Amino acid sequence: MSMKLLLKKEGMTSVGVGSDRVPVTLLSYSDHVIVQIKTLEKDGYSAIQVASGPNKKKPVKPMKGHFADSSVEPKRHLFEFRVEPSVAADLKVGDLVPFDSIAEWAYVDAQATSKGKGFSGVMKAHNFAGQRASHGVSISHRKPGSIGQCQDPGRVFKGKKMAKRLGGVTKSILSLKIVSIDPENKTIAVKGSVPGPRGSYVFLAQSLRKTKRDS
């Protein structure tokens, strides 16, 4: 697995590419510090544990000790990603994950928690048409209608599309094109939208499906 980075979603805008306007999502990068290197011999798998984001003022005692062992200031986010043992051998605790590594990527896969929309009815959750809005329907225009049978089998089948809690789940968008990279401000512009509201955090990794740049 390739390196994974955690970036903050700043919002959306559009940029000019040739004669077209392209919608992009702006993502900002903060320093990623290596906190722990996991090996096959000690942990059973090879991975890099990374901390990022602003410093956490009051970490819980276990996390405070974990960061102290690595001589790293407690950060807001702590995550890990698997790498080949040969890659882990070239790194050491306390190193910074360089922002320049994004420059080698042409397409990225984005993963984040989608916006929570609360409890939603069938028209919003499943795009139901609803009941007729003309004569004969009374105070049930947005209802789902019949959901089951009478005596046989006398139950609602599992998986029936009904009202539900919508959003707030992990979503992945694959093969998003990197439109531009700003090394000075440590921001990147990705074509299209990524999951989550403004101010949330998004995992980015090099695309598994598309790796070559457009000719």
Report pLDDT for 214: 61
Contact call for residues 37 and 48 (beta carbons, < 8 A): yes
The angle subtended at Cα 8 by Cα 111 and Cα 51, nearest 5°, is 85
Spatial CA neighbour of 5 closest among 33, 26, 25 = 33
pLDDT in tens, 120-139: 999 999 999 998 888 888 88
CB count, 10 Å around CB of 91?
A: 13
The answer to whether residues 122 and 162 touch, using CB atoms and an 8 Å cutoff, is: yes
Chain centroid offset of residue 86 CA: 27
Give residue 215's pLDDT. 46
- Cα distance from N-terminal residue to C-terminal residue, the chain: 26
pLDDT at 179: 92
Q: How many CB atoms lie within 10 A of CB 109?
A: 20
Q: What is the pTM of this model?
A: 0.82
Write the DSSP symbol of residue 87: H
C-alpha angle 18-5-94 in degrees, rounded to nearest 5: 135
Residue 76: which residues within 8 A CB-CB, separation 6 or more? Answer: 52, 53, 54, 55, 56
- Residues 92-110 have pLDDT tens digits of 888 888 888 888 888 999 9
Here the tokens at position 25 are 């999502």
pLDDT at 213: 65
Q: 141-151, pLDDT tens digit by residue?
A: 999 988 888 88
Q: Which residues of the chain have pLDDT under 70?
A: 1, 212-215
CB contact at 8 A, 27 and 34: no
Q: How far is CA 197 from CA 5, 105, 166, 192, in A?
A: 18, 24, 14, 14
List CB contacts of 132: < 8 A, sequence separation 6 or more.
141
The pLDDT value recorded for residue 169 is: 95
